[in-house]
Amino acid sequence: AAFGFWVWSKGMREQLLAAEKVTAIAWRDGALHLLDQRLLPFTQAWLAYDSAAAVAEAIRLMVVRGAPAIGIAAAYAVVLAVRARLVAGGDWQAALEEDFRLLSESRPTAVNLFWALNCMRERLQRLKAGDDPLWVMEQEAVGIHASDREANLTMAQLGMEVIRQQQGNAQPVMTHCNAGALATGGFGTALGVIRAAHVEGLIEHVYADETRPWLQGSRLTVWELACDGVPVSLNADSAAAHLMKTKGITWVIVGADRIAANGDVANKIGTYQLAVNAMHHGVRFMVVAPSSTIDMSLESGELIPIEERDGCELLELAGQRIAADVPALNPVFDVTPADLIDYLITEKGVVERPDAAKLVQLMCRKRLH
């Protein structure tokens, strides 16, 4: 409760918004525009999408990635589908089921995808006679996008305050993968907390894991933080334990793609070993994710579907073979047990040492903002 009602001053909020230099999703002129994250940081190319099938393919190919961003993109894809089905005529709502199916199959692990699709489906079911379906569904998708950004700002506040209460001066922290503005509707989850803590003088340096095999840390996270003027350096994933031992790191701060009802967290592959290393070295472990990431239908992390992508992502680099002719295992997520997590930060509040009972209490709350 001590964390739950702490609020930014207006000036601090404006300072944080001014510090944000990166965005990855835009809805303009009836089309979804996505910053192609496969090309960053060297090329900033925006791609326009006007069909649900094209957005589903963009999600599968990781043009857009990050659990909240995937959900937002899917919500806008439903709007595109509604427009196309209305033009086609007939039983357009029944025809939409094919679009929902296509989007739901684009990636299996990030629960925000299914949450956003459920929100759009529920709004569709509440249409009344005289409603303009396209306008109503567009407003729902825009609301999902805006709500995610507001949730990120709230989480940034709460996570920063947790760090402030644990330490009084600037300290080095570590992060993994990319949980910033690129992965969300704006500002970021884990990177949102890091941004806010940096503004408050609580971050001395950020150590960013490269995050093999897609190199989200190398290509995305260090670029985002450098754009915002946050001191950051890149390290190999396998250097994490050594850096915890030698650099005085006090926090590991990560996002999440799905959180089970008992607090187990699925996140980018490599997160689990970070949590084990953090516990050994006395480093606190913080997970930052919106409540839409919490899947109360799954009792534990053992039930979370883990996406395994093509082994060529490990065997090749930029299309060039770099390994012997052997099979490759390429799970792209792992599950961190709840007992390795010190703090879970959501827009509904802070959970210290999460477990099943605490998550039930959390999910009964309304948003803080």
For 286, the enclosing helix (H) or strand (E) is strand 284-288
Cα separation, 43 vs 305, whole angstroms = 33
Cα separation, 259 vs 109, whole angstroms = 10
**151 with 67: CB under 8 angstroms?**
no
Which has the closest alpha carbon to 224: 189, 275, 265?
189
Contacts of residue 231, Cβ cutoff 8 Å, sequence gap at least 6: 203, 204, 205, 206
145-183 burial by CB neighbour count: b if 16+ within 10 A, else e? bebbbbbbbbbbbbbbbbbeeeeeebbbbbbbbbbbbbb
Cα separation, 225 vs 20, whole angstroms = 10
**67 with 254: CB under 8 angstroms?**
no
Q: What's the half-sphere exposure (Cβ side, CA atoms, 13 Å) at 22?
A: 29
Cα separation, 3 vs 145, whole angstroms = 25
**237 with 270: CB under 8 angstroms?**
yes
The residue count for the chain: 369
Q: How far apart, in Å, are the Cα atoms of 188 and each of 88, 120, 153? A: 38, 23, 8
Q: Catalytic annotation on 257?
A: yes
Retrieve residue 193's tokens: 């907390």
Q: Choose, from 99, 148, 228, 257, the residue flagged as catalytic.
A: 257
60-87 burial by CB neighbour count: b if 16+ within 10 A, else e? eebbbbbbbbbbbbbbbbbbbbbbbbbe
Catalytic residues: 257
